[in-house]
Amino acid sequence: MAIVDSNRLMENPFYCHTFSLSFIMNQHRSKSFFVSLLLLPISAVAIAQESVPASGKTTTEQPAEIWKPQPREVTPGKNCCDQPVTAPSDAIILFDGKDLSQWESVNGGEAKWPVADGIVTVNKKMGNICTKDSFRNFQLHIEWKIPVEVQNGTHTQHRGNSGIFLQGRYEIQILDSYRHATYIDGQAGSIYKQYPPLVNAMNPPGEWNLYDIIYTAPTFTEDGNFLTYPTVTVLHNGVLIQNHSIINGKTKHGDGPIILQAHRDKTTSEVSFRNIWIREL
């Protein structure tokens, strides 16, 4: 049985408009707090269920920002990121430098981010873009660059902020974290507001960074009961920064798109991408 959680699709700006059937399970950040799966029919009552209170809190609350200890800096291997890492034979090419034919706006319609010289650059005015296809378990390769003329905004998060949302939901952060401190569960390579990276393997602005992301979606029993958490492993410039990290939060049943973030800050330091491919697992 599956339900259409149309309210959640509308209230979450990150959802791709084609992202449809899903089970939603709310769970508290603490692993000890497994809460009940919402298996409700389509109704106003069901749609109003945003979260299940746990221990006096709701899952919509954001945890406190954590600033210490800052992850140790690691210099990536020499020439690790100069050339694009070409896709293996069984990969699905999501962006090869030519066009955004595999992408669309999360609001529907074309993905109107500019493509030039083999790279695509965020257009904040056009908002987030997502893959037309959805994925469940995958290996994702993506290359990104903070502009060399990166600017500070009014917040430590306003410096080359973008991100990659897995299964349409969990963000692997993109930020200029090269000698630029922010809360560690919000710096580049963090699972946003959940886990900081193990180390800081950031290249400086103007140089390419590589993410290799291995994502395993949550699993459910046939009758929809939650079985296992989603997990993610991330290499940043060839350096392990997330090691089979268990993702908390609202989990989804079913496939989801890859979403690239157009962060809504006021700086003009827009992030660029190239060479994006994915292997389904």
What x/- string results for residues 211 through 250 when contact with Mg ion is judged by CB under 5 A?
Answer: ----------------------------------------
DSSP 186: G
- Least distance between Mg ion and beta carbon 263 (Å): 5
CB of 186 to Mg ion, least distance (A): 8
Q: Which is nearer to Mg ion, 28 or 124 (CB)?
A: 124
Give the closest residue to 18 by CA, choosing from 135, 171, 132.
132
Min CB(153)–Mg ion separation in Å: 13
* Only segment of 37-45, 155-163, 222-230, 237-245 that touches Mg ion (CB under 5 A): 155-163
Q: How far is CA 91 from the centre of its chain?
A: 19
Distance separating alpha carbons of residues 204 and 80, to the nearest angstrom? 13
Taking Cα atoms as reference points, which of 167, 178, 172, 230 lies closest to residue 71? 178
- Which CB sits closer to Mg ion, 27 or 177? 177
CB neighbours of 183 closer than 8 A, spacing ≥ 6?
A: 65, 66, 67, 156
Q: For residue 273, list its beta bridge partners.
A: 120, 144
Return the H-helix or E-strand segment holding 11. Answer: helix 6-11
Return the number of the residue (163 or 256) whose C-beta is nearest Mg ion: 163
Rank residues 161 and 187 by Cβ distance to Mg ion and give the closer one: 161
The nearer residue to Mg ion, 105 or 177, going by C-beta atoms, is 177
Q: Of the two residues 157 and 248, which places its CB atom closer to Mg ion in the complex?
A: 157
Helices and strands: H and E segment counts in the chain: 2, 18
DSSP-assigned letters across all residues of 230-277? -EEEEEETTEEEEEEEEPPS-EESS-B--EE-----S-----EEEEEE
Name which of 185 and 255 has its Cβ closer to Mg ion: 185
Contact set for Mg ion, span 157-196 (CB under 5 A): 161, 163
> With contacts defined by CB under 5 A, how many residues of the chain interact with Mg ion?
3
Q: Give the nearest distance from C-beta 227 to Mg ion in angstroms.
A: 29
Smallest gap, in angstroms, from Cβ of residue 46 to Mg ion? 31
Tokens of 139: 């290996």
Rounded to a whole number of angstroms, the minimum distance from the CB of residue 40 to Mg ion is: 31
The residue sitting closest to Mg ion, measured at its beta carbon, is: 163
Q: Is 156 a residue that touches Mg ion (CB under 5 A)?
A: no
What residues from 255 to 274 belong to the interface with Mg ion (CB under 5 A)? 261
Q: Taking the complex as a whole, how short is the minimal distance between the CB of residue 175 and Mg ion, in angstroms?
A: 7
The CB density around residue 185, as the number of other CB atoms within 10 Å, is: 19
> 150 with 176: CB under 8 angstroms?
yes
Residues that bind Mg ion (CB under 5 A): 161, 163, 261
